[in-house]
Amino acid sequence: MVKYIQPVTPATADGLTAQVYAQIKRDFGALVEPFTLHAPAPLLLAGLWVATRETELAGEVRRDLKEAVAATVSRINQCPYCVDAHTMMLHATAAHDAAAAISRKRDDQIEDPTLQALVTWAAATRSPGDPTLLAPPFSEQEAPEIIGTAVAFHYINRMVSVFLSETPLPSDRGALKPVLKRMAGWYFSRAARRPKQVGASLTLLPAADLPADLAWAAASPTVADAFARWTAVVEEAGQEALPADVRALVRERVEAWNGESTGLSRGWVEEAIVDLDEVDRSAARLALLTALASYQVDEGVIEVFRTQQPGDDKLIGATAWASFTAARRVGTWLQVPATTLGLPLVSVNRIKPRNGLIKKEM
């Protein structure tokens, strides 16, 4: 269930929103809430879809590897909704043991060594300087899709924590959940197997320049193009929803952040915003919490923000900008010199594609 905003249904969607909805339904398999919660801001909906499609869904790296990255990043960010959603997608790719192991936090039980290596890497993505990040198990050519998936989910986890419930499943009962995940995986498997044309989503947004901090995407023109377009619309939305001094404060705090948890207290937020005027404090509180402690955003924080910035589009714009600012920060410590990148994933374990899910062997 989406909280705080009025969802845009397929029946009421038009223009860009309708175009994006059609692509999501075709290529992902259903209009899922992590995308549709962005619909009050159609450009942000398109930006997230473009970046996610061209990293997680399309490309040359095996889909199950990228779903494992998505699920593991979600686990370290304590986003149970996304863990459930992307272990379901692992079932859709027939990576059943990986789905179960990631859910149980028993990564050592993953049978495929390539998958296990990627899960170990993804689990370290909030730990800058971790040896796993300094010697990643993928090549320079594979890096844009894999790092791009990780960065996208550091963003998505924050937005989901603010706006969605704890699971996409109809029941959260422990004994029933594995069965429901398998059933959902079967539902999505057809879309997961369907070949996807690389770059097919790019025309949804105008071209833009790739910022320097996203240079990890440069080895793939498609991924670089997708993230450049996404960045442009997020920055525009941030400028419209958040005052300049708020954005400067958030950037300063995020640039000093190294993946650590802020804890349960909100004292750090109130200390950070004390010098702002009353109007800006509500925006800064929401943006800082979304970026660094999204689990602490509640109805009170949202309502105070709305007194200054009414409208679902402004709420989505403020939280999207804050979430993406934090995700970009993570991306800066995932990029490493090409000389330290590991062997290509398929050279580590040249197994046959599961159920034809891989378009070709790299």
In the set 31, 41, 45, 82, the catalytic residue is 82
Q: Are 204 and 44 in contact (CB under 8 A)?
A: no
| CA–CA distance, 294 with 162 (Å, rounded to integer) | 6
Catalytic, 79? Answer no
Please tell me the distance from the alpha carbon of residue 334 to that of residue 317, in angstroms, as a whole number: 26
At which residue do the structure tokens 């009050």 appear? 40
- What is the SS3 assignment for 118? helix
Quote the distance between the C-alpha of residue 200 and its chain's center: 20
Helical pair 221-241 and 42-52, crossing angle rounded to 10 deg: 150
Report the alpha-carbon distance of residue 67 to residue 70 in Å, rounded.
Answer: 5
C-alpha to C-alpha distances, 22 to 25, 30, 46, 53, nearest whole angstrom: 5, 9, 11, 13
If we measure between CA atoms, which residue out of 321, 325, 322, 333 comes closest to residue 296? 322
End-to-end Cα distance, the chain: 39
Q: Are 318 and 246 in contact (CB under 8 A)?
A: no
Catalytic residues: 82
